A and B are shown apart, each in its own frame.
Chain A
Amino acid sequence: MDLSSFSAHQLIDLLDRQELSAADCVGYFLARTDDQNPELNAFLTVAHESAMDQARSIDQRRQRGETVGRMAGLPVAVKDGICTEGIRTTAGSRMLEEFVPFYNATAVQRLLEADAILIGKTMMDEFGMGSSTENPHFGNTRNPWDPQRVAGGSSGGSAAAVAGGLAPLALGSDTGGSIRQPAAFCGLTGLKPTYGRVSRYGLIAYASSLEQIGPITRSAQDAALLMEICAGHDPSDSTSAQRAVDDYTHQLDSDIQGLRIGVCRDHFGTGLDSEIGVALQEALNVLQSLGAKLVDIELPHASHAVAAYYVIAPCEASANLARFDGVRYTRRAESSSLDQMYSRTRSEFFGQEVKRRILLGTFALSSGYYDQYYRKASQIRRLVKHDFDTALAEVDLLVGPTTPGTALPIGQWEDDPLSMYLADVYTVSANLAGIPALSIPCGTDANGLPIGMQLQGRPFAESTLLQVAHQYQQQTDFHTRRPD
């Protein structure tokens, strides 16, 4: 069987019916990873032994007739910025090259409790700071649709692993588009949940008030499953919401007749690749044919969102990354005084982009500049949120592009951080406002590269986004297309 093109649901069916053993399933994906990862560089660490041990134990439990979890035997790839007990977790940084956590992120713990199998840790931009998974320490992740192109970022390894068939589904994290953009570049479904929906405990923080862990999958249906496992209140994360998790799977099958979809026409103008505009228009036609009503809406402050984001995120990062100091769990550069320990460790083991953002954040928070940068950016954040509140009072969700273009050639953004930042134009607003946002494939460009469509919804209305995406995927086959 060619398991590499199976969705998680299809694999779970086979596993549950014991037509496929967990050991065979995991063995298959590990072998495929061994074969293809040297080219794709999707995984930073492959957990061969622990994954096989876990798989055999699940098979034994099944044979003994014991109850097993909902994802029993299903391999999952996890972004390397998410802590995994006993498995090296680097966040893509030389700084944490040898760091082995003695605790699991809550999302990982929940996967393990559902008997999912952790097959490895995926590549990422260092600490999530980037949009291309071109990593100065561990190399570039390649896009399975075209190995000369980037897989997107920062969860590029998770996207490449799923698109390349090395894993049926994966966890990523999204601070400004880091799930949705690689999902778009790799033809996958990627969801950034509402802020507080999934526990951040164990997610190595880049910008705490913006980021969420979320699924990167082949279908909305698989994303719904992963959300049902991982979402929910966690007493270890004070910012995690206490409200109950919806039954996302159950709601997938409801029709979207009469649903009001907001379209911000500004997002279809200058700056958007025309092929993407055409694909989106066709997608909107499909949604309309399913009974949805299109409504024009305005997001007047969206044009300032990227600038506000690139103040807030670096400010938080400058504090979040201060703990990497050479004392407790990072590497330490050779040093004979305390000052040397700090300066050499941080200069040797952080990459260029990380240093850039730390400097930017440190400057923006410094005495005399706080009001001009951080406070102002937080005020814009309020306005961006207000834009969404207003629009989403009129409509049930918003539909637009995920990215201004399709996957770029590797090296395109080297030494041009500003262009890279500007490519986040459609995704950062959802992080600023804390609302859920989903990307699904809706076409391909002339180069055969996938195009992503973004759905943004009301806080905690993941069910609506997944439902619309699922209904769309029932009518289209973009999500089932695989790279050659």
Chain B
Amino acid sequence: MNSEQAEKVQIELEKLLAFVGQIDQLALDDVDPFYGIGSTEDSTRTDEIRPSCPRSDILHNAPQTDGEHFLVPPVFGQQDSRED
């Protein structure tokens, strides 16, 4: 993101925060938050092994693998890493 974009996003976010921030005006101290899931049913499973997926499926969509692992760039970068 360049600084112009960053500034635009900043302004936008401030507008949106001002809008959603209206809820902070409400006095709701005694209201119990509701998180959308009120199930009292037991939704657990028993401890049984189910077959895993073939590794070829697991790795199929990955951008980079060695056929056994997912590969990711090293934490501190390659020696020839360009400036970001």
Contacts and interface: CB of A to CB of B under 8 A. Distances in A.
Contacts of B36: 195, 209-210, 381, 432, 434
B67 to A, nearest CB: 15
A69 interface: no
B62 A328 contact: yes
A337 B80 CA distance: 10
A341 B73 CA distance: 7
Contacts of A343: 84
Given A330-B63, A340-B84, A360 B28 contact: no
A106 B59 CA distance: 22
A363 B13 contact: yes
Interface residues of A, number: 58
Given A235-B45, A359-B13, A417-B12, A332 B77 contact: no
B72 A341 contact: yes
A323 interface: no
Given A238-B39, A380-B23, A417-B16, 9 more contacts: A307-B20, A307-B22, A327-B63, A327-B72, A336-B77, A343-B84, A344-B84, A373-B23, A382-B32
22 contacts: A209-B37, A238-B43, A239-B43, A241-B39, A327-B62, A328-B70, A336-B80, A340-B84, A341-B72, A341-B73, A356-B12, A356-B16, A360-B17, A364-B20, A373-B20, A376-B26, A379-B26, A379-B32, A379-B34, A381-B35, A383-B28, A418-B15
B23 A378 contact: no
Nearest to B71: A327
A336 B33 contact: no
Given A330-B63, A335-B73, A382-B34, A376 B28 contact: yes
Contact of A338 (B9, B37, B38, B72): B72
A337 B23 contact: no
Contacts of A327: 62-63, 70, 72
B4 to A, nearest CB: 14
Contact of A336 (B1, B15, B23, B81): B81
Contacts of B9: 355-356, 359
B41 interface: yes
Contacts of B81: 336-337, 340
Interface stretch (A96-104, A392-400, A462-470): A96-104
A100 B24 CA distance: 43
A238 B9 CA distance: 37
B13 A356 contact: yes
B5 to A, nearest CB: 9
Contacts of B62: 327-329
B47 interface: no
Query: Interface on chain A toward B: helix, strand, loop, or mixed SS?
Result: helix
B73 A337 contact: yes
Size bracket of the B interface = 35 or more
Most chain B beta-carbon contacts within 10 A, residue among A238, A330, A364: A238
B63 A99 contact: no
Interface string A203-214: 000000110000
B22 A304 contact: yes
B82 to A, nearest CB: 7
B74 interface: yes
Contacts of B82: 336
Contacts of A375: 33
Nearest to B80: A336
Nearest to A237: B43
Contacts of B12: 356, 417
B53 interface: yes
A337 B76 contact: yes
Interface in A315-345: 326-332, 335-341, 343-344
Contacts of B37: 195-196, 209, 239
Most chain A beta-carbon contacts within 10 A, residue among B24, B36, B41, B63: B36
A102 B60 CA distance: 9
A381 B28 CA distance: 11
B78 interface: yes
A242 B41 contact: yes
A437 interface: no
B77 A381 contact: no
B66 to A, nearest CB: 14
Nearest to A372: B24
B17 to A, nearest CB: 7
A442 B44 CA distance: 44
Nearest to B77: A337
Contact of A382 (B21, B33, B44, B75): B33
B57 interface: yes
Nearest to B38: A434
Contacts of B84: 339-340, 343-344
Given A308-B23, A379-B28, A241 B61 contact: no
